[in-house]
């Protein structure tokens, strides 16, 4: 195979890693804007998102070009096919960050509804899942990818706890309903991001092992 | 990397052109030589050539003889010798190309065939004299001549057949065997038809050589002709045109020996010309599917 | 929404649905003199499927293919050990004429005989004594139709086969092979001399033919193996490295060597 094709595959990997890295940074900023109640960080999140969208377009094109010109098979094919699915996941994570940052700006001037710790834990765990999923991709670490998938249940539990807590508070104090419903949506956004990290981890496992691990109940045992 | 000077060289172009001119010149030279020879023969023979020359019996002492029996004998002998040598020659060629396993015996056989095809015809003539004329006591006759000519033809035909069969692409053979053909079916239905143009050329060469052969026939078919015409008897003496030409010139008892010789030569050239044209037409038919 | 969209597509079932192997090689070894070309290959070739054999030049894939109708015997005296079966029968013990009628072959270079189109296709049936005009006409038309060539040549059956284009010549060779009604068709890189359009037509043909035939195709072209075959076997230096369903070989091969070969990073 020509060197060109190998170069293109390498560029795809690098581009994907760079895009993921930027989103990891956005996750950090989002979390801090929420915890430190800083509007300036929230603004930076929105600014970064435009560049993520640009990278999405570029990487999409690289994938299609690789398919059309390189006709990849086996591991290469799995990489390109999975990249096509990972790219929109990462882009969606960026969008969720923007949503959270926008609500952070609404909430920042107002009194706290919830002790900061609960939301902090949800945010950190979710951010760590994304980081690990990306690390699993970069390092080709199947065990790490499996750990990400396993961690999703924990995040779901955290989210449900926060949701129930907020419902209770809204019942107790109707004045906090607006703020609390914003917070529910923020928590929901974190939870979605964790789902996306799980999806990425599943794609990483497909790239590494050639086996689709989604919806295990629909699949024949290997 | 050093930048090489890769402009087209003038010297190469000159050589190319010079070679082309030289090859053209050689080809034209051949055609010219052929035309001169043909022209000389036909020019001298033309005045003699008439129906009388072709239809009269030869004279031994007087002028004005014809070559009727010699023309007949030439064609008859060539036909007879081919009838004998074609099956044997082609058969041997098929054996060599398709059946013989490469080995010392086959190599020896091939050496024999090649030696035989290069044997000087005077040697073959003496062999014919010893075997057919004397040992078998067939005297100077058509049958002695035909057998000796066949000896001349067989090695040529064997060689040509072997080469033509080997020239058939291996893919044809694979295709035939691949469809379930036996060896014989493959040879008869694929190899021989595909080799036919080559075989035809070889046969014409052999026939032409036999037609023009004199030495072999002087000692086997003799220098006399039958008194009856046409005499298909194998025991009849069988002087041919080529032998007649030689005999008339070297004996010198005929007052018009020069004219007779010129006429005989012209007849031979014309017969060969007709033969080649007919074969050309046949060849074109054979190659119709091999375009 | 039109109703037809709700109707499930009907899958075309093979004429003889069967799982058993039509061809089988068991520890097949082939040597020409001191050179061992195949070093113990075992492979089952299932009926009514297209099996592709891939591998680098000189890996023995062509020899392997040719063993199935013993046309390899033309390339010189070969020492064959192990077992090759056609429908469970020892193929080395069969009469080659019968074997080659049942197991047809299409070669790398189109090799029509220097005869008319008609005579090319009728060649096989005639070998087996078919003489009747209507029988021969039928066999010729049938062969040409199955090879998807009939419409292109029906008005010029008496023309020379060598006047056809390369792709047409190759389909003529397929028609010629089909005219003796074989059960298996072996194809040795049948498209290597053809342009992409002619290649696509032959690949399409494989799809139709496998309903009646078992097809084994040797190819250098990975994409062709991926497009046209149901199963793929990878040979390397006379040994079978891996074999399996084509989609598995091309998405998730089991052996690193297979992966390297199909992704072009071999050696």
**Number of helical H runs and strand E runs in chain A:** 6, 0
- Tokens 């031979």 sit on residue: B268
pLDDT at C32 over 60: yes
pLDDT at C11 over 70: no
pLDDT at A89 over 60: yes
Tokens of B188: 């008869």
Total Cβ atoms within 10 A of residue C25: 22
Tell me: cis bond preceding C174? Omega within 30 of 0 counts: no
Using pLDDT thresholds of 50, 70 and 90, give the confidence band for residue A221.
low
| CB contact at 8 A, C12 and C210 | no
Nearest residue of chain C to residue B189 (CA atoms): C123
Do the chains contact at C253 and A74, CB–CB below 8 Å? yes
pLDDT for position C15: 44
CA B290 from centroid of its chain's CA atoms: 25
Which residues of chain C does B174 touch, with a Cβ-Cβ cutoff of 8 Å?
A: 71, 74, 105, 107, 111
Convert A65-98 to b/e letters by CB count within 10 Å (16 or more is b). Answer: ebeeebebbbbbbbbbbbbbebbebbbbbbbbbb
Which regions in chain B score pLDDT beneath 70? 288-291
Examine residue C81 and state whether it is found in any structural domain, yes or no.
yes
pLDDT at C1 over 90: no
The pLDDT tens digits of the residues spanning C150-195 come to 999 999 999 999 899 999 999 999 999 999 999 999 999 999 888 8
Q: Comparing B256 with A138, which gets the higher pLDDT?
A: A138
Using pLDDT thresholds of 50, 70 and 90, give the confidence band for residue C17.
very low
List the domain range (segments joined by +) for residue A47: 5-218
For B10, C9, C35, the CA distances from C1, given in Å and listed in that order, are: 76, 16, 66
pLDDT for position C171: 94
The pLDDT tens digits of the residues spanning C225-234 come to 999 999 999 9
**Can you state the angle between helices B68-94 and B192-212, rounded to 10 degrees?**
140
Which residues of chain A does C262 touch, with a Cβ-Cβ cutoff of 8 Å?
A: 73-74
Out of C226, C252, C262, the one facing A210 most closely (by C-beta) is C252
pLDDT above 70 as % of chain C: 92
Distance CA C64, CA C53 (A): 9
CA torsion, ordered C219, C225, C229, C233, to nearest 10 deg: 70
pLDDT for position B214: 86
Do the chains contact at B174 and C124, CB–CB below 8 Å? no
Chains A and B touch (3+ CB pairs under 8 A): no
The pLDDT tens digits of the residues spanning A11-54 come to 999 999 999 999 999 999 999 999 999 999 999 999 999 999 99
A203 touches chain C (CB under 8 A): no
Fill in the DSSP letter of residue B190.
I
pLDDT for position B164: 94
Using pLDDT thresholds of 50, 70 and 90, give the confidence band for residue A222.
low
Examine residue C267 and state whether it is found in any structural domain, yes or no.
no
Examine residue C3 and state whether it is found in any structural domain, yes or no.
no
List the domain range (segments joined by +) for residue C161: 11-262
Examine residue C5 and state whether it is found in any structural domain, yes or no.
no
B7 phi-psi bin (left φ>0, alpha ψ -120 to 50, beta other): beta
Nearest to B75 by CA among B146, B20, B139, B12: B146
Please give the tally of structural domains in chain C: 1
The pLDDT tens digits of the residues spanning C109-163 come to 999 999 999 999 999 999 999 999 999 999 999 999 999 999 999 999 999 998 9
CATH number of the domain encompassing residue A17: 1.20.58.220
Examine residue C2 and state whether it is found in any structural domain, yes or no.
no
Domains of chain B: 66-290 (1.10.3720.10)
pLDDT at C4 over 70: no
pLDDT for position C74: 84
Which residues of chain B does C193 touch, with a Cβ-Cβ cutoff of 8 Å?
A: none
CATH number of the domain encompassing residue C132: 3.40.50.300
pLDDT for position C246: 94
pLDDT at C13 over 50: no
Out of C222, C251, C262, the one facing A78 most closely (by C-beta) is C251
pLDDT for position C3: 43
Give backbone dihedrals phi and psi of C82, rounded to 5 degrees, phi first. 95, -165
Please give the tally of structural domains in chain A: 1
Cα angle, residue A86 at apex, residues A82 and A90 outer, rounded to 5°: 170
Q: What is the pTM of this model?
A: 0.79
Distance CA B81, CA B211 (A): 10
pLDDT for position B288: 67
Mutate to test the interface with A, among C245, C264, C265 (most CBs of A within 10 A): C264
Q: Round the CA-based radius of gyration of chain B to a whole number and report it.
A: 24
Do the chains contact at C109 and B171, CB–CB below 8 Å? yes
> Which 3 state secondary structure label does DSSP give C235?
strand
Examine residue C6 and state whether it is found in any structural domain, yes or no.
no
pLDDT for position C158: 93
């Amino acid at each position: 195979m020509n060197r060109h094709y190998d170069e293109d595959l390498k560029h795809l990997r690098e581009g994907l890693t760079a895009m993921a890295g930027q989103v990891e940074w956005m996750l950090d900023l989002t979390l801090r804007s929420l915890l430190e109640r800083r509007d300036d960080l929230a603004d930076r999140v929105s600014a970064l998102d435009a560049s993520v969208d640009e990278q999405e377009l570029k990487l999409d094109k690289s994938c299609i070009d690789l398919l059309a010109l390189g006709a990849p098979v086996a591991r290469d094919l799995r990489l390109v096919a999975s990249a096509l699915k990972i790219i929109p996941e990462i882009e969606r994570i960026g969008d969720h960050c923007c949503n959270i940052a926008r609500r952070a700006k609404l909430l920042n001037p107002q009194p706290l509804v919830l002790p900061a710790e609960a939301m902090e834990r949800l945010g950190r765990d979710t951010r760590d899942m994304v980081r690990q999923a990306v690390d699993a991709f970069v390092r080709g670490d199947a065990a790490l990818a499996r750990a990400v998938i396993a961690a999703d249940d924990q995040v779901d539990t955290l989210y449900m706890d926060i949701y129930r807590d907020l419902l209770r508070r809204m019942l107790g104090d109707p004045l906090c309903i607006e703020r609390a419903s914003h917070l529910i949506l923020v928590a929901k956004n974190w939870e979605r991001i964790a789902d996306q990290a799980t999806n990425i981890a599943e794609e990483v496992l497909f790239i590494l092992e050639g086996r689709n691990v989604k919806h295990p109940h629909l699949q024949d045992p290997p | 990397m050093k930048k090489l000077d890769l402009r087209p060289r003038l010297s190469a172009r000159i050589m190319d052109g010079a070679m082309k001119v030289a090859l053209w010149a050689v080809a034209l030279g051949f055609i010219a030589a052929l035309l001169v020879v043909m022209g000389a023969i036909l020019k001298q023979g033309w005045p003699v050539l008439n129906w009388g020359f072709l239809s009269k019996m030869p004279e031994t002492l007087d002028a004005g003889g014809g070559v009727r029996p010699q023309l007949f004998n030439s064609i008859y002998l060539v036909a007879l010798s081919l009838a004998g040598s074609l099956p044997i020659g082609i058969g041997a060629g098929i054996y060599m190309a398709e059946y013989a396993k490469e080995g010392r015996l086959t190599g020896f056989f091939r050496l024999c065939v090649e030696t035989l095809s290069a044997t000087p015809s005077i040697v073959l003539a003496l062999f014919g004299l010893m075997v057919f004329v004397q040992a078998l006591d067939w005297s100077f006759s058509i049958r002695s001549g035909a057998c000796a000519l066949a000896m001349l033809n067989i090695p040529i035909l064997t060689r040509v057949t072997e080469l033509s069969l080997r020239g058939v692409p291996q893919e044809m053979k694979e295709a035939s065997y691949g469809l379930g053909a036996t060896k014989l079916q493959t040879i008869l239905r694929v190899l021989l038809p595909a080799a036919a143009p080559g075989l035809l050329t070889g046969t014409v060469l052999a026939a032409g050589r036999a037609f023009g052969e004199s030495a072999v026939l002087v000692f086997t078919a003799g220098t006399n002709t039958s008194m009856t015409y046409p005499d298909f008897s194998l025991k009849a003496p069988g002087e041919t045109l080529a032998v007649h030409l030689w005999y008339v010139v070297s004996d010198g008892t005929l007052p018009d020996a020069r004219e007779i010789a010129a006429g005989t030569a012209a007849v031979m050239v014309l017969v060969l010309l007709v033969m080649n044209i007919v074969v050309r037409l046949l060849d074109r038919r054979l190659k119709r599917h091999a375009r | 929404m039109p109703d037809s969209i709700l109707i499930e597509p009907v899958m075309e079932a093979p004429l003889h649905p069967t799982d058993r192997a039509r061809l089988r090689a068991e520890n097949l070894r082939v040597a020409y003199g001191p050179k061992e070309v195949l070093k113990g290959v075992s492979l089952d070739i299932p009926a009514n499927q297209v099996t592709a054999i891939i591998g680098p030049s000189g890996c023995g894939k062509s020899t392997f293919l040719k063993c199935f109708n013993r046309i390899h015997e033309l390339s010189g005296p070969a020492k064959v050990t192990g077992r090759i079966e056609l429908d469970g029968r020892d193929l080395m013990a069969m009469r080659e004429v019968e074997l080659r009628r049942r197991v047809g072959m299409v070669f790398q270079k189109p090799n029509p005989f220097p005869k008319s189109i008609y005579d090319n296709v009728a060649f096989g049936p005639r070998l087996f004594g078919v003489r009747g005009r209507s029988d021969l006409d039928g066999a010729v038309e049938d062969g040409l139709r199955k090879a998807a060539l009939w419409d292109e040549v029906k008005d010029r059956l008496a023309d020379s086969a060598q006047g056809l284009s390369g792709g047409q010549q190759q389909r003529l060779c397929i028609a010629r092979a089909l005219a003796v009604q074989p059960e298996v068709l072996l194809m040795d890189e049948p498209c290597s001399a053809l342009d992409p359009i002619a290649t696509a037509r032959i690949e399409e043909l494989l799809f139709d033919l496998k309903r009646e035939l078992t097809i084994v195709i040797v190819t250098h072209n990975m994409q062709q193996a991926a497009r046209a075959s149901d199963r793929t076997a990878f040979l390397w230096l006379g040994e079978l490295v891996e074999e399996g369903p084509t989609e598995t070989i091309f998405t998730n091969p089991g052996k690193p060597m297979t992966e390297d070969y199909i992704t072009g990073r071999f050696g």
